Chain A
Amino acid sequence: MKTFKIVIIVFCVLAFQTVINGYISIFGINPNFALISVVVLSILYPDYKYMGIVAVITGLILDFITSGVFGLNTLLLLYVSQLTCYFAKQFLNDNFMSVLLITFLGTVLFESIYYLFNSINYISFNLIKAFVRIVLPAGLYNAVISMIVYPIIKKYVSVSK
């Protein structure tokens, strides 16, 4: 039942990521629903192996849909899921503040590595501009969105939990 519910969540997240995102971007910044849901699920279920599989599947589907370096989404979502599981096991509680903080930090990590990887290929390297224009706003935007996503996912999976 838990797995079934997570599959539904992943499906919804990917639909949001690819169809709805264009309509809710602010100043060209798109929220990363895949990352937000991986963070929330990892806090709710801090199981390295289980969340690793969820992150890899979500990332692989995203890699097929989006352009850019293939496998990068998979790799970065895997990092975020494992780090979140680690923090959740060590000191994080299942609450809004943890989700907000980890989503922000996870986004900064995700977008920074994404930028560095892409800059090797074709992006002109300007880390400070990229930080100010994309990485930090994306972190803030994702953190705000996570405040909406977190209670929804928590309520949805609470029965199976």
Chain B
Amino acid sequence: MKIFKNTVVIVIIVATILVGSVSAFFSRGNHGSNILSNAVGIIVSPFQKIITYIADSVADFNVFIWESNGYKAQNDKLLKEVNDLKLNMKSMDEYMQENERLKRLLALKEDMPQYDFVAAQIVSKSGDNWNESFIVNRGSKYGIKKNDVVVTDFGLVGQVSEVGYTWSKITTILDPSSSVGVVVPRTNEAAMIEGDVLYAKDKLCKMSFLPYDNSIVIGDIAQTSGIGGMYQPGFTVGTVREITVNPNDKLTYAIVEPAVNFNKLKEVMIIINGQVEE
């Protein structure tokens, strides 16, 4: 036991001396890395790199988790801002279009000082398949009467067919009940533009009572002639798009595309002093 005790003490002492000597030998005159530490470093550093990468990632992820609520809120806020901006742009676009339309209507008022106009907005359309009429938000309160002529800066829209105190019903030139006396300024030929239920579906109307030997061509413009006193002369009604001749009865009729785009019509001008006194 005594021997064992002595052996252990001796081993410890020898080991201590050995490690101390080796350590002293390798570090002598070299304050940087020694061969052993270098070898260890070469072996360990890739693992360290991986562990560092993992640790950094975990740390970043932790940061992301901690801050994710903030990101979400920020993202929501930015999305809301984008939506608001889109909405603003849309309404600005609408305002600009409305402004353009109103400017043109105002120009019409200035171009024709002989007429008194009342501007009106379309509030509803007939909505059935056989009539082409709509209701506007102005009535007798503003001096509107039955048969007053309705126009836009592009041309003729139709006529007032019914009047209420704050509303009026407008029958357009597309309606089958409508007929307008027109003249083609290029040839000075007179005709009649009538609404036709089948053509009205394509927003077209029919020009009839044309002489068989007429010289009207596609592209000719038809204007109100003023004959009959229902419509004031000089308003553009539409452009000739097709000419058809019936060889049996020698009758010619043309398909006319109205100058006014009825699909996009929102505001109109009603002439309140244009009726011919009887």
Contacts and interface: CB of A to CB of B under 8 A. Distances in A.
Interface of A: 17-19, 21-22, 27-30, 32, 62, 65-68, 73, 111, 114-115, 118, 121-124, 126, 129-130, 133-134, 138
Given A66-B126, A126-B198, 14 more contacts: A18-B126, A19-B124, A19-B125, A21-B127, A32-B128, A32-B129, A67-B126, A68-B126, A68-B130, A111-B130, A118-B176, A123-B176, A130-B197, A138-B129
Contacts of B126: 18, 65-68
A130 B203 CA distance: 16
A29 B202 CA distance: 10
A124 B246 CA distance: 16
Nearest to B203: A28
B147 interface: no
Interface of B: 123-131, 133, 135, 161-162, 169, 171, 175-177, 196-198, 200-203, 263
Contact of B124 (A18, A121, A130): A18
Contacts of A130: 197-198
A17 B201 contact: no
20 contacts: A18-B124, A22-B127, A27-B202, A29-B201, A32-B129, A62-B128, A66-B126, A66-B127, A66-B131, A67-B171, A67-B175, A114-B128, A121-B176, A122-B177, A123-B176, A123-B196, A126-B198, A130-B198, A133-B198, A134-B197
Contacts of B128: 30, 32, 62, 66, 68, 73, 114
B159 to A, nearest CB: 11
A92 B129 CA distance: 28
A32 B128 CA distance: 7
Contacts of B176: 118, 121-123
Contacts of B177: 67, 121-122
Given A28-B202, A65-B135, A123 B197 contact: yes
Contacts of B135: 18, 65
